[in-house]
Structure 1
């Protein structure tokens, strides 16, 4: 009994502390998913309303930045897809780096199951799409059904509450992150064109400057922002999609602290004692120099004890989830279903390929790859999961939305006749995948090892 009490007091707080960033991540992504849905509905209604021409005017509104001999002018839709999405991919890069350093991708044994599952969940949907579109001009969209939208998938999981074990949420998050790595590679290799090697070299020079900043111990974000913007501009002009610069920039952000635990705790206790000695019972104590000095020292040491990567990631989540992604959805999800907008053919090879890839391909790829990884002994089966959990997770991974729509904008020109079918199929498949995944996980029996 005494030993159990010690475990309860000592181990549980440590576990909660380790998982706290994950809890915050899921909470923000779930809320962001709701905002994304609202923005998508607004875009669809707006594009098909009598004011639809204003929607097109909004997307094509010219925006110019610069002065003198240097002017960069693009329509709003390109500023969103090339500029704001670079910030989104920067955040994705931070998450990838954190997962590789201290998260689910920290070791091969730990990461093998989600890696196998994610690879299967990318390869099979691409093959399914190719099956319907091989030999046609629309075959370039093979990368569209590969993607998983982590915001929506975790949003559905959050609605299930304690009906799903934490290990399933961790598994799906890791799968989505590996999926993001695959999407980044696909964009960089297959959806970049007219590549200029010398401009890429210039961009890589700025990347090296950021690495040097890291090695020199620079922790303030402004120098990284300066060189990151230059790298983004170089990639924008190089032919490699500019969002790749966001991922590379994230890899240079320092992930270590300047103060270890002991070096942080001892001075912090002294600062708190100074604060207590300088205080009184009144609420207004800002005039007390001793308290102000203590607060300043506390703030300085907290900054030195927290990694810049974690601080930036935490602060960016709100801007991305509640700002950038809704703007992206508003600008890209508006599909005009009328004949004037190009009409809609739900039996077009593009429609069939994307829908089947996200619904059927994801399930087959993730479930089969997970089974192979466990049966071969490469990965361990989590004790709190049962086979039904993998089916439900695979269905939720079929919610492609954000990344799928983004790859659609890269696969074809905005005037392409395939755009309407692609976006409609992405939305339809995401809705069906979310509903089916919810039903499967809601009715899935829990493992005897799961204690809630």
Structure 2
């Protein structure tokens, strides 16, 4: 994804930039499914990514870190803090301005990039920290899905909404009847996607709903099958389509605008302070305790890496604004803040592991 982002930014700022932008705006399909290439990626291809996210959530709830309420309580509390404070920081910067609608952009964590930063430190990072970040990021993803469904749905179309509910009910029935034929679920999933798309709710929600109905025995097999296509095809293509930003002197000066500051400070400060503060309150109040091997400095480093927003943050930026300049500014702020959060997270975690040696 980093390579795809670099390629997209480079091409967008060369003589090929206009042709590159026109490619993503090219219309494909026929009514009622005529969309630009970029929209087909965001509303169609990304459904597969959200399907994978839904499978991860279901697995963690059924037999992962979120199974035991006591174990799940701390990452849940940390995730709530990691969503609430970035939104609050953003609104402190942008409340009362046209950019206020983008309050949810800095609330999202990119689980792949965040875990990737931990993996760079190898055995220096305790396994318990990886588990904690995984659980936190999955809850974070769930909250991002809820935010998209509740706050970024412009107008509901009742017939399609009822159709989606009916298809989802059939899928739940298939699960209850222990039907194991996955093509049946995928066929109904396509119908569910169409109904959700036309209902006014963002189409990617269909991926999560479908994942919730998949038979438990098939979850790990599907996750394994989806890992490479999602990681090496879908997400890089998403990055190519959504980071075609034309850079100028104004682009960087606008980072100091309410929108740019809201996204940047929300990710770089709101995320780590929200996670750290919520966890500290939970531990001090006796609701939970720090997992073995995790120190407060390591937790702060983890909070910094959670400031890597990228995929979800860019998707929410697309949903938050209609003006191209605002969308591009939000995306640029996400990219810069995510990169800074990665470097800061690595530095704090490195210092924390040195201190514990």
TM-score (norm 2): 0.97
Report the counterpart of residue 122 of structure 2 in structure 1. 161
Listed as ranges, the gaps of 5+ residues in structure 1 are 1-35, 256-306
Aligned partner of 1:58 among 14, 23, 46 = 23
Report the counterpart of residue 216 of structure 1 in structure 2. 177
Contact 2:314 2:334 in 1 (8 A): yes
Q: Distance in 2 between matches of 1:41 and 1:215?
A: 46
Following superposition of structure 1 onto structure 2, how do residues 263-278 of structure 1 map, counting pairs within 5 Å? Answer: none
Q: Residue 446 of structure 1: CA displacement? A: 6.6
Listed as ranges, the gaps of 5+ residues in structure 2 are none
Q: Residue 155 of structure 1: CA displacement? A: 0.9
Q: Distance in 2 between matches of 1:217 and 1:243?
A: 25
Q: Distance in 1 between matches of 2:262 and 2:294?
A: 31
Report the counterpart of residue 335 of structure 2 in structure 1. 427
Higher relative contact order (CA 8 A, sep 6+): 2
Q: Find runs of 4+ consecutive structure 1 residues off by over 3 angstroms.
A: 341-344, 445-448
Q: What is the aligned residue count? A: 357
Report the counterpart of residue 326 of structure 1 in structure 2. 236
Q: Distance in 1 between matches of 2:136 and 2:179?
A: 32
Report the counterpart of residue 135 of structure 2 in structure 1. 174
Q: Residue 380 of structure 1: CA displacement? A: 2.0
Structure 2 residue 308 is matched with structure 1 residue 399: yes
Contact 1:117 1:370 in 2 (8 A): yes
Contact 1:384 1:446 in 2 (8 A): no
Once the two structures are superposed, what CA deviation does each residue of 1:309-331 show, in whole Å capped at 9, x if it has no partner? 11111101111111110000000
Q: Distance in 1 between matches of 2:252 and 2:126?
A: 43
Once the two structures are superposed, what CA deviation does each residue of 1:341-399 show, in whole Å capped at 9, x if it has no partner? 97851211100000000011111100000011111121121121111111100000000
Report the counterpart of residue 214 of structure 2 in structure 1. 253
Aligned partner of 2:102 among 141, 144, 150 = 141
Report the counterpart of residue 383 of structure 1 in structure 2. 292
Once the two structures are superposed, what CA deviation does each residue of 1:164-191 show, in whole Å capped at 9, x if it has no partner? 1000011111111000011000000000
Q: Residue 420 of structure 1: CA displacement? A: 2.2
Report the counterpart of residue 42 of structure 1 in structure 2. 7
Contact 1:118 1:176 in 2 (8 A): yes
Aligned partner of 2:202 among 224, 238, 241 = 241
Q: Residue 215 of structure 1: CA displacement? A: 1.5
Q: Distance in 2 between matches of 1:318 and 1:247?
A: 19
Residues 1:56 and 1:343: Cα distance change in structure 2 (over 3 Å): farther
Aligned partner of 1:311 among 201, 204, 221 = 221
Aligned partner of 1:86 among 47, 52, 59 = 47
Residues 1:446 and 1:383: Cα distance change in structure 2 (over 3 Å): farther
TM-score (norm 1): 0.77
Report the counterpart of residue 203 of structure 1 in structure 2. 164
Contact 1:337 1:344 in 2 (8 A): no
CA RMSD of aligned residues (A): 1.6
Q: Distance in 1 between matches of 2:347 and 2:88?
A: 27
- SS of the aligned residue for 1:444 comes to helix
Structure 2 residue 263 is matched with structure 1 residue 354: yes
Q: Distance in 1 between matches of 2:67 and 2:354?
A: 27
Q: Distance in 1 between matches of 2:295 and 2:252?
A: 43
Once the two structures are superposed, what CA deviation does each residue of 1:50-92 show, in whole Å capped at 9, x if it has no partner? 1001211121111116xxxx75211101000000111111110
Q: Between Structure 1 and Structure 2, whose CA radius of gyration is higher?
A: 1
Report the counterpart of residue 282 of structure 1 in structure 2. none
Q: Residue 243 of structure 1: CA displacement? A: 0.7
